[in-house]
Amino acid sequence: MAILGPGTVNPCALTDFLANDYFEAVKFINRKFNALKRLAELLEQIGDLRGFIPNIGALLPLYMINLDAYANLVAACPFLNLPKNPTNEDIGKLQAQVAAAYARLIQQLNLHPWLRLNAVQDALDKAQSKVNDILNQGGQFMKCLQQACHSLESAVNFVADIAQTDFQKQFDQYTTNFVNSNGQVLNRAMQQKRDEVQGSIDQINTLISAKPLSSAEAVVPAAPAAPVIPQLPPSAPPPHA
């Protein structure tokens, strides 16, 4: 530290160090933002080219896989050799097969490039949290260095090491990315694509929210006119038999 007199510390020596710390934090977060922005753009492009999102409207909820649906399947696809007189257990097995297929579809969507955009934003937020204190307070020391200490000898080395044009470029980037854009590495189109995949996962989870039937559970009606659908005993013949 530069000493002005006995027991007196030159404030510009401290300001020099803290302003430099601030400048390094600005450079770090700018590099992080630019790298993650390139990654986000790449993930968006990959998702555009080969990302698969199912037509949710074409998928059936499990509760609709009942006796009628099973009978229609038997009639449409006799080569499947399904039982013509199904029991609750048969219907439950079909529901379980569909539920398993939906679960595999969710696994595929969880690997979708657009959904991975969430991790990109999380990585930036984590990096920013490491330097928030410096960024929030360091700018004041930079201002002090430029105004109060600019002409003093203690700041000469610092000012010489950091070209003002380079600092202004770094500061302008930081202002654009973190002040004006609130630190969002994802643009609106990326956010919409991410939300589209997450929405598909949520809808599929809704379709499989009903538990697949076991032999002790039922959706098979005892009679079509019954107002409440009762259980079909495993030993009883199906309706219309």
pLDDT tens digits for range 21-68: 888 888 999 999 999 999 999 999 999 887 788 888 889 999 888 888
Residue-wise pLDDT tens digits, 145-172: 666 676 545 444 555 555 555 777 888 8
Cβ atoms < 10 Å from Cβ of 199: 12
pLDDT of residue 212: 47
Please tell me the distance from the alpha carbon of residue 150 to that of residue 145, in angstroms, as a whole number.
Answer: 6
Residue 237: HSE in the Cβ half-sphere, 13 Å Cα cutoff: 4
pLDDT level of residue 85 (50, 70, 90 thresholds): confident
Q: 166 or 235: whose pLDDT is higher? A: 166
| Residue 36 contacts residue 120 (beta carbons within 8 Å) | yes
| pLDDT value at 2 more than 70 | no
At position 20, the amino acid (one-letter code) is N
Q: Nearest CA to 112 among 160, 34, 44, 62?
A: 44
Is the pTM for the entire model greater than 0.75?
no
As a whole number, mean pLDDT of residues 73-102 equals: 89
pLDDT of residue 202: 94
Residue-wise pLDDT tens digits, 178-229: 888 888 999 999 999 999 999 999 999 999 875 544 444 444 443 333 333 3
Classify the C-alpha dihedral 172-176-178-184 as positive or negative: negative
pLDDT of residue 151: 55
pLDDT of residue 86: 85
pLDDT of residue 9: 62
pLDDT of residue 162: 57
Residue with tokens 């990109």: 120
Q: Which residues of 113-139 are buried (b: 16+ CB within 10 A; e: fewer)?
A: bbbbbeebbeebeebbeebeebbeebb
